[in-house]
Chain A
Amino acid sequence: MTPDNHHLEADLLALVRSRGADHARVEPDTDLIDAGLLDSLLLTDLILHIEERYAVAFDASDVSPANFRSVATMAELVRGRSPAAQSA
């Protein structure tokens, strides 16, 4: 089954918000790149988290601004790449 949109965003949002005071106000559509909140540590943590929990594989060519601009774009990426979505 394709991951539920609401739960997927909430899951990724919780990870991002856990990074400190500056991240606590992040919303699904917050531009993490323009806000200077997406550093290499957070990005690798997000990728590992997604790979482990949703069985979605990434490589370096996936690390693009379009894919990781916001929690919403990340959720969209996971939904499109999840095994359930691909077999549908």
Chain B
Amino acid sequence: MKWPLQDRPVPDDRIPLYNRFYLHAPRASHVDPTMVWGTEIDADALQVFLRERNRGGKVLLTTAHALIRATALALAQYPALNVRLVGRRIFAFRDVSIRTAFVHRRTGEIDVLLISAADQKSLEQIGQEVWQRLLQAARGKGPRDRDRGRLRETSPFWFRQLLRMYGFLDRHFRLPSVGRLDELRGGAAMVNDLSFPGAPPIRSYKPTRFPDPSDSLNLTLGAIESKVVARGDGFAETHVMPLFVRADHRLVDAYQVGRFVAAVRDLLSHPERLDAAATTPQAVPVAAASQ
């Protein structure tokens, strides 16, 4: 049994006023606290970095592994985003754990895995853990796959009742994670790498919100695209990857999201920084954040 959240919620006086408007808005107001921030990263730098690391490395590294590591380091730097709602209270996670989606080869469905304490793991450790889970899923032999199989066999009626009951408890109480399936609630951020070969360019993308209040933040990376930029007196071709971040205004505001996105973008555009240790957390800028 693990307790993914801190014992006490974030004190009210640390929550910016406008976040409280969203947090305490009555249901009848149909408030939508979802924010999506789209930006792009320098794909040339990331590709060169991965190519070099894959030249002599022991683990095959991909953009998905870099995205997991960059998100974890940025969350360690800005812990105000590593939180979730329980009722109308905000709780911080104990660790910086990152969820990522992948295609479960045995079933052909999307599945999710969790890299716990990802800010404390090297890019190679993250890569190896992801490959291990992918291979387990492909073989369909892991204990988690047996649990998943039982859940799939549950009738729609009981599936709905299970979701309602578990959802109610999870929304209102600071629950421990007790099983292999609910351990996914151990992280605030979900990352999604859609830069697979043959993926079309993404102009706009709104990551969905999973029916799980721990899914506070989502980062989705799109396919590489060519772009012509002004450089000196002339023009040059460069390559970029779109990055979309979905956040929740009940937890953070646009200023905080912007700083977090800038940190992720900086790490992916200067990927040599992915090897650095997690930096000291930034203080929550209450005055600036409430603007």
Contacts and interface: CB of A to CB of B under 8 A. Distances in A.
Do A and B pair up? The answer is: yes
Contacts of B57: 64-65
Contact of A33 (B54, B59, B102): B54
B103 interface: yes
Interface string B34-74: 00000000000001000100111111101010000000000
B205 interface: no
A80 to B, nearest CB: 17
B124 to A, nearest CB: 10
Contacts of A33: 51, 54, 60
B197 interface: yes
Contacts of A11: none
A38 B59 CA distance: 14
B60 A64 contact: yes
Q: What range describes how many residues of B lie at the interface? A: 20 to 34
Main secondary structure of the interface of B (DSSP, over half): helix
A15 to B, nearest CB: 13
Contact of B196 (A39, A58, A61): A39
Contacts of B105: 41, 44-45, 48
B110 to A, nearest CB: 12
A60 B128 contact: yes
Given A59-B135, A60-B131, A65-B54, A43 B60 contact: yes
Interface string A53-88: 000001111011100100000000000000000000
A61 B138 CA distance: 16
A63 B138 contact: no
Given A33-B60, A39-B197, A65 B138 contact: no
A39 B195 CA distance: 9
B156 interface: no
Contacts, number: 66
B198 interface: yes
A50 to B, nearest CB: 12
B156 to A, nearest CB: 29
A61 B62 contact: no
B134 interface: yes
B102 A40 contact: yes
A35 to B, nearest CB: 9
Contacts of A41: 103, 105, 196
B144 interface: no
A43 B57 CA distance: 17
B135 A60 contact: yes
B127 to A, nearest CB: 8
Contacts of A65: 54-57, 60
B226 to A, nearest CB: 13
Interface of A: 19-23, 33-34, 36-41, 43-45, 47-48, 58-61, 63-65, 68
